[in-house]
Structure 1
Amino acid sequence: MLKRRAGLRPFSPKRLAALAEQGIRPWSTLNSTGAGLSRAAGKDAKPTPRLRDTGPDKGTVATVVARDFGRCARCGGPVSGQRGVDYSVHHRRARAMGGTVRPDTNEPQNLLLLCGSATSPDGCHHRVESSRAEAYELGFLVRQAQDPAEVPVLHAVHGRVLLADDGTVSSLSPTTEEVA
């Protein structure tokens, strides 16, 4: 029967000291912490992969929260708590997987404050994502070929409006035809 023993060390302390004297910073697949470095001496450190932040910056989020008066754009209820869990800053025109290069993707005219998250069943963000036909009709979703600034949204706080890139809204009369 095999006995359980301690795991292997990436390098012994003696070997690490000898390599350090030579100016070599070793890299090992056994070491799960720290940045991976090249195995060959004299090579620069491998770049550490970083997740891209494809969301809006803090200032834009603050603009959207102020424009929507801290209320869900779909139901009008107050939002609070942790962003991404209790409420979301929803992209009307989707970013697509891996992000997008469109400059207006993270601008206020493309963003709405919604309660809940896209994955939790108890919130408007989930309802928008799961009832897409209705969401397109009401302006909560915008097709890729459309400009979010030109597609009205039936906003619970402001009524039927166009959203502007400066965080303001333009009201539309009830008789105005939908731009979409």
Structure 2
Amino acid sequence: MKSTGFPPLVRTLIYERAAGRCERCDEWASDVELHHRRPRGAGGSRRDDTNVPSNGVALCAACHRTVESHRSKAFDDGWLVRQSQSPKDIPVYRRGEWVLLDDEGFMRFVEVEAS
């Protein structure tokens, strides 16, 4: 059976990118939770790019709950990505700035036009 979670190396890359802070609110979080930007449900867990660094973010528990309970805003801000999209192509509003996440555990800042 195929694992549906991030493998250890990917977990490490996400944790290192977060540097001990929530990637959404920028608060120190000793127990960040890993969140799949493109959900694993509805066939997502079978895709090769489900458990890659660009699809994962480290969130504090409060931000994780907010993302899951305010899904429309989460899609607008890149915390959730549609099944038809690749996470590395969708910017996320991380710590007050728009970034694109890559699959090596890095990010680059981007300009996003207001909608």
TM-score, with structure 1 as normaliser = 0.59
Larger radius of gyration: 1
Deviations 1:90-147 (A, max 9, x none): 000000068621111010000000011xxxxxx1100000000100001000011111
Deviations 1:153-173 (A, max 9, x none): 00017x210000111101113
Runs of 5+ consecutive residues of structure 2 not aligned to the other structure: none
Whether 1:115 aligns to 2:60 is yes
Relative contact order higher in (CA < 8 Å, ≥ 6 apart): 2
| Aligned mates of 2:44, 2:102 — CA distance in 1 | 22
Q: Verify the 8 A CA contact 1:90 1:125 in the aligned structure 2.
A: yes
Q: Verify the 8 A CA contact 1:138 1:153 in the aligned structure 2.
A: yes
| Aligned mates of 1:54, 1:100 — CA distance in 2 | 6
Whether 1:88 aligns to 2:17 is no
- Give the count of matched residue pairs: 114
Deviations 1:51-82 (A, max 9, x none): 8631001111110011121211111111214x
Aligned identity (percent) is 40
| Aligned mates of 2:76, 2:23 — CA distance in 1 | 15
TM-align CA RMSD: 1.9
Determine which structure has the larger strand proportion and give its number: 2
| Aligned mates of 1:124, 1:148 — CA distance in 2 | 19
Runs of 4+ in 1 over 2 A off after TM superposition: none
| Aligned mates of 2:48, 2:2 — CA distance in 1 | 16
Partner of 1:171: 109
In structure 2, relative to structure 1, the CA distance for the partners of 1:98 and 1:177 (3 Å cut) is closer
In structure 2, relative to structure 1, the CA distance for the partners of 1:143 and 1:98 (3 Å cut) is closer
Determine which structure has the larger helix proportion and give its number: 2
1:101 partner amino acid: R
Give 1:102's match in structure 2, choosing from 41, 44, 47: 47
